[in-house]
């Protein structure tokens, strides 16, 4: 167990490597109840989110989800978010646990006068995720009142799981197919137990935070506090597509983000593989021909590739480093590294 | 969690096994479980002089890096080369195939192996891990 943003979280149940492999090959079960849930209700909710976030959420159809960000006036990222439109006037914003208070405060401020009520719903939901190629097959016999096959990637629906009411969404943070089940906290144990029992014959294992981190890293997904933070805009992270300049009206950060879009990013997120068993960890320097050219943001062994991988911010585009001798400074040693396209892993569809 | 009775332990979560004048060293089952999957072990060089309580290598897991200490003064006479190819032996068999290095223990004035006074018995070590939660 480990302390994480005020929650006690399982770092691993047994071997994080085995948990990672299970998610890639079969399925893993995650307790993600620490995630923040913020509800926006009312006829002005879509417009309020258009103003508050980088995305064009008012165009989201009910039953669909979108990945988006909330930025400060200077364009710095305050959090990355998944937003579900659960009904015409009902949105559920999923924030990182450590950022929930900031996001809640900002959303309340930015929604004021826009005919939308903002409420912290974190305590109303527990979140159990089932991820991996077997996830749909394990979940299917347990759902009621919804058609799992009709829930496409980045969509969701209300129904029942193991007899308990839930919002079931085809979203995740692992690079695999899978579902996130938002239930009442009192119902989460029943949801977890039923999924664990249903999946036990299909290779499902409980998976902790450590596996979640290596899975998202292989999938090239950013982690707030590593690749994202108030000192970068979405453009540095290669996620400029989440900024919808063509939406009508103002939105927070527009001016600064437009300037960054035209000037180009100040840093460049790149993927590295490490020619060693040693891990290039957060904060370690990246060297080109012996001179510092960037900093590692996340690093871990990749069970799928069999070598350590890392993401790093470089001070120049990766293309301009072709031919350079790249290395990572690992506690005093320059360990050879190679640039790799992101993501490191994409599932076959 | 296993704590073999016949071994000695250190507060740094290492075990020591004495055979005559040599001492074999590894990390405990408790340490391996706390670290998680071990992915890299940096061992001292053959012939290196090591000193009790001084770092002489590293144990790297998915989530962390820890120093490896020598529990005794002496000279490194053997290292477990298997760990280079398969560091997961540390998790699988911390007291057997996951052993790390062997030291010829420095001798005291009487020609006996000079053992540090602060080594723990199995019972003492178990107590330590319980109080660490």
In contact, A190 and A128? CB cutoff 8 Å = no
Q: Is A3 on the interface with B (CB under 8 A)?
A: no
**ipTM > 0.85, yes or no:** yes
Whether residues A276 and B40 touch (CB distance < 8 A) is answered with yes
Write down the pLDDT at residue B118: 85
Q: Is A216 on the interface with B (CB under 8 A)?
A: no
Task: Tell me the residues of chain A between 128 and 147 that have a Cβ less than 8 Å away from chain B.
Answer: none
Q: Is residue A8 part of a domain?
A: yes
pTM: 0.95
Q: d(Cα A67, Cα A240) in Å, to the nearest integer?
A: 12
Q: Mean pLDDT in runs of 10 for chain A (349 residues)?
A: 89 96 98 97 98 98 98 98 98 98 98 97 97 98 96 98 98 98 98 98 97 98 98 97 97 98 96 97 97 98 97 95 94 96 92
User: Are both A274 and A169 inside the same structural domain?
Assistant: no
Q: d(Cα B90, Cα B99) in Å, to the nearest integer?
A: 7
Write down the pLDDT at residue A66: 98
Write down the pLDDT at residue B115: 79
When the pLDDT of each residue in chain A is averaged and rounded to a whole number, the result is 97
In contact, A242 and A217? CB cutoff 8 Å = no
From A214, A248, A281, the end of a domain falls on: A214
User: Are both A21 and A150 inside the same structural domain?
Assistant: yes
Q: Give the model confidence (pLDDT) of A106-155 as tens digits.
A: 999 999 999 999 999 999 999 999 999 999 999 999 999 999 999 999 99
Nearest residue to A253 (alpha-carbon basis) of A266, A276, A277, A235 = A235
Q: Which of B43, B62, B67, B133 to mutate to test the interface with A (most CBs of A within 10 A)?
A: B62
User: Are both A178 and A73 inside the same structural domain?
Assistant: yes
Q: Is residue A63 part of a domain?
A: yes
User: Are both A152 and A271 inside the same structural domain?
Assistant: no
Q: d(Cα B26, Cα B41) in Å, to the nearest integer?
A: 11
Shortest distance, CA A61 to any CA of chain B (angstroms): 40
How many A-B residue pairs are in contact by the CB < 8 A criterion?
A: 37
Rg (chain A; Cα; Å):
20
Q: Is A300 on the interface with B (CB under 8 A)?
A: yes
Q: d(Cα B73, Cα A184) in Å, to the nearest integer?
A: 58
| B132, pLDDT greater than 80 | no
In contact, A4 and A55? CB cutoff 8 Å = no
User: Are both A193 and A271 inside the same structural domain?
Assistant: no
Write down the pLDDT at residue B133: 58
Average pLDDT over residues B67-91: 96
User: Are both A199 and A279 inside the same structural domain?
Assistant: no
Q: Please confirm whether the linkage preceding A313 is cis (ω < 30° from 0).
A: no
* Confidence band for B113, pLDDT divided at 50, 70 and 90: confident
What is the tally of structural domains in chain A? 2
Q: d(Cα B76, Cα A228) in Å, to the nearest integer?
A: 45
Whether residues B62 and A278 touch (CB distance < 8 A) is answered with no
**CA distances, A200 to each of A80, A134, A135, A272 (Å):** 33, 11, 12, 36
User: Are both A168 and A286 inside the same structural domain?
Assistant: no
User: Are both A42 and A182 inside the same structural domain?
Assistant: yes
Handedness of CA A242, A245, A246, A249 (dihedral sign): positive
Q: Is residue A262 part of a domain?
A: no
What's the full length of chain A, in residues? Answer: 349
User: Are both A207 and A312 inside the same structural domain?
Assistant: no
Q: Is residue A126 part of a domain?
A: yes
User: Are both A68 and A7 inside the same structural domain?
Assistant: yes
Which domains are delineated in chain B?
8-105 (2.40.50.100)
For residue B133, the chain A residue with the least C-alpha distance is A1
Instruction: Round to the nearest angstrom and report the end-to-end CA distance of chain B.
Output: 13
Write down the pLDDT at residue A61: 98
User: Are both A69 and A206 inside the same structural domain?
Assistant: yes
Q: Give the model confidence (pLDDT) of B21-36 as tens digits.
A: 999 999 999 999 999 9
Q: d(Cα A64, Cα A54) in Å, to the nearest integer?
A: 17
Nearest residue to A203 (alpha-carbon basis) of A67, A24, A3 = A24
Q: Which domain covers residue A50, as residue numbers?
A: 2-214
Contacts of A277 in chain B (CB under 8 A): 39-40, 60, 87
Q: Is residue A143 part of a domain?
A: yes
Q: Is A11 on the interface with B (CB under 8 A)?
A: yes
From A174, A189, A214, the end of a domain falls on: A214
Residues A195-224: b if buried by 16+ CB within 10 A, e if exposed: bbebbeeebbbbbbbbbbbbbbbbbbbbbb
Query: Where residue A196 sits, what CATH number does that domain have?
Result: 3.30.1360.120
Contacts of B91 in chain A (CB under 8 A): 15
In contact, A218 and A344? CB cutoff 8 Å = yes
Q: Is residue A231 part of a domain?
A: no
Q: Is residue A155 part of a domain?
A: yes
User: Are both A36 and A142 inside the same structural domain?
Assistant: yes
Query: Where residue A288 sits, what CATH number does that domain have?
Result: 2.40.30.110
Q: Is residue A194 part of a domain?
A: yes
Q: d(Cα B82, Cα B62) in Å, to the nearest integer?
A: 19
């Amino acid at each position: 167990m480990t302390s994480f943003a005020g929650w006690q979280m399982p770092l691993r149940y047994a071997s994080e490597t085995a948990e990672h492999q299970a998610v890639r090959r079969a399925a893993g079960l995650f307790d993600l109840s620490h995630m923040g849930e913020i509800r926006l209700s009312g006829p002005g909710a879509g417009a309020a989110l258009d103003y508050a976030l980088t995305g064009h959420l008012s165009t989201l159809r009910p039953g669909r989800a979108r990945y988006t960000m909330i930025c400060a006036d200077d364009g710095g990222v305050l959090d990355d978010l998944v937003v579900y439109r659960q009904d015409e006037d009902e949105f559920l914003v999923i924030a990182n646990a450590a950022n929930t208070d900031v996001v809640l405060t900002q959303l309340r401020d930015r929604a004021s006068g826009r005919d939308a009520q903002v409420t912290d719903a974190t305590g109303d939901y527990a979140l159990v995720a089932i991820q991996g190629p077997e996830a749909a097959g394990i979940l299917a016999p347990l759902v009621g009142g919804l058609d799992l096959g009709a829930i496409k990637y980045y969509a969701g629906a209300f129904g029942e799981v193991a007899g308990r009411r839930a919002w079931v969404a085809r979203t995740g943070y692992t690079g695999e197919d899978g579902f996130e089940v938002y239930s009442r906290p009192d119902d989460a144990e029943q949801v977890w137990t039923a999924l664990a029992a249903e999946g036990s014959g299909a290779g499902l294992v409980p998976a902790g935070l450590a596996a979640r981190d290596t899975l998202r890293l292989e999938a090239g997904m950013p982690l707030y506090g590593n690749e994202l933070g108030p000192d970068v805009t979405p453009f540095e992270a290669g996620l400029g597509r989440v900024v919808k300049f063509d939406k009508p009206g103002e939105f927070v950060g527009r001016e600064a983000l437009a300037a960054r879009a035209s000037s180009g990013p100040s840093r460049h997120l790149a993927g590295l593989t490490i020619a060693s068993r040693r891990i290039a960890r957060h904060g370690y320097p990246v060297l080109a021909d012996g001179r510092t050219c960037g900093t590692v943001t996340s690093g871990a062994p990749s069970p799928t590739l069999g070598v350590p991988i890392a993401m790093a911010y470089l001070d120049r585009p990766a293309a301009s480093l072709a031919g350079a001798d790249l290395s990572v400074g690992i506690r005093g040693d320059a360990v050879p590294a190679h640039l790799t396209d992101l993501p490191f892993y994409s599932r076959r569809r | 969690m296993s704590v073999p009775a016949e071994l000695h332990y250190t507060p740094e979560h290492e075990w020591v096994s004495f055979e005559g004048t040599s001492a074999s060293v590894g990390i405990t089952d408790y340490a391996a479980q706390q670290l998680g999957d071990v992915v890299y072990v940096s061992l001292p060089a053959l012939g290196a002089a090591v000193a009790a309580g001084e770092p002489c290598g590293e144990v790297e897991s998915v989530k962390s890096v820890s120093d490896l200490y020598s529990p005794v003064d002496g000279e490194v006479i053997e290292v477990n080369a298997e760990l280079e190819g398969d560091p997961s032996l540390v998790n699988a068999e911390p007291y057997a195939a996951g052993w790390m290095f062997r030291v010829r223990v420095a001798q005291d004035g009487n020609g006996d192996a000079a053992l540090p006074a602060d080594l723990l018995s199995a019972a003492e070590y178990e107590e330590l891990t319980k109080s660490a939660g």
